[in-house]
Structure 1
Amino acid sequence: MENKWSSGLCSCMEDGETACLTCFCPCITFGRIADILDKGSTGCGKCGMFYGLICCVIGLPCLFSYMYRTKMREMYELQESPASDCITHCFCECCALCQEYRELKAHDNVDPSLGWDGNVQRALALPPDQHMTG
């Protein structure tokens, strides 16, 4: 059984900060998403620069970014909606990136702006009311 997305494709203003970032610099949003989905193996900067390069050279970053939507859908067993991943990214690139960013926050309580390593460190940190004894 496939799960529904936590928010709609056109619900960008549920997270206005991400919507503005994605509108003006989608390479950063994409890089953050890719870093989390790749579990830190490729890095935000590398994926973001590759996204920007594709955007500048051929003008179709969706040919790269849709693969990460597919990866996310498979990871969280999400429906392929409202259309195929490729079509969704080709016609609604910014909205798709915003939806994926929100999905990461909703599913794993991840802060994509911290990157993979930052989220791992945050998860391993002791609660503030506990102290190590030596």
Structure 2
Amino acid sequence: MQVAQPMVPQQMGYANNEWIHGLCSCFDNIPGCLAACFCYPIYQCYVTCQLHEEALCLLAGQPATWTAVRAHIRGKFNIHGSICGDCIINHLCPCCVLCQVRNEWESRHKSVGVVMQQQAPIVMQTTTTTTNP
């Protein structure tokens, strides 16, 4: 008698430790680039909702918030960098940071999949013993 084992989900890891989208590649998403430049506060709230961090929408206008968000994205996807670098970049070009964070989240979030791996079935053998009277 064979008993099938359930499927076991395994999350794929992140091998790439660099940003997929560079800081100046905001033109990869033209509508997002325009929204970041001309409707910055509204686009900040939109991106925080995309990141499932709706509570940050209230703090979205604070530069330290996006420094922390960029650091969070780096940590989540194991990307090289430092909080000091995040702070400097965020103060120099906040629109580019906003676009980079959104593009990175979208690219990596879509590429993360769940691989279903089936375990080998367990074979159960039944033995019968007979006794002679």
What TM-score results when the alignment is normalised by the length of structure 2? Answer: 0.62
The structure richer in strand per residue is: 2
Corresponding residue number in structure 2 for 1:70: 71
Rounded to whole Å, the distance in 2 between the matches of 1:28 and 1:76 is: 25
Residues in 2 aligned to 1:109 and 1:27: alpha-carbon distance in whole angstroms: 25
Contact 2:35 2:43 in 1 (8 A): yes
The whole-number CA distance in structure 2 between the counterparts of 1:72 and 1:97 is: 12
User: Comparing both structures, which one devotes a greater share of its residues to helix?
Assistant: 1
Structure 2: runs of 5+ lacking an equivalent = 1-14, 112-133
The separation in 2 between residues aligned to 1:6 and 1:78, in whole angstroms, is 10
TM-score, normalisation: structure 1: 0.61
Q: Which runs of 4+ in 1 moved over 4 A?
A: none
The answer to whether 1:98 aligns with 2:107 is: no
Q: Which one has the largest radius of gyration?
A: 2
Q: What is the match of residue 117 of structure 2?
A: none
Partner Cα separation in structure 1 for residue 46 and residue 80 of structure 2: 22
CA distance in 2, matches of 1:72, 1:19: 19
Measured after TM superposition, the shift of residue 12 of structure 1 is 1.1
> How far did 1:36 drift?
4.2
Q: 1:89 to 1:25 in 2, by over 3 A?
A: same
Q: 1:74 to 1:95 in 2, by over 3 A?
A: same
What is the aligned partner in structure 2 of residue 32 from structure 1?
46
Distance 1:13 1:68 in 2: 21
1:15 to 26, 29, 42: 29
Cα distance 1:17–1:95, how it changes in 2: closer, same or farther (>3 A)?
same
Higher relative contact order (CA 8 A, sep 6+): 2
Alpha-carbon displacement from aligned partner over 1:49-68 (angstroms, at most 9, x marks no partner): 4324xxxxxxxx32221111
- The 3 A distance-change label for structure 1 pair 22 and 30 is same
* Residue range with higher mean Cα deviation, 93-102 or 28-37: 28-37
TM superposition shift of 1:2 = 6.5
When the two chains are superposed, the root-mean-square deviation of aligned CA atoms in Å is 2.4
Once the two structures are aligned, what percentage of the paired residues are identical? 27
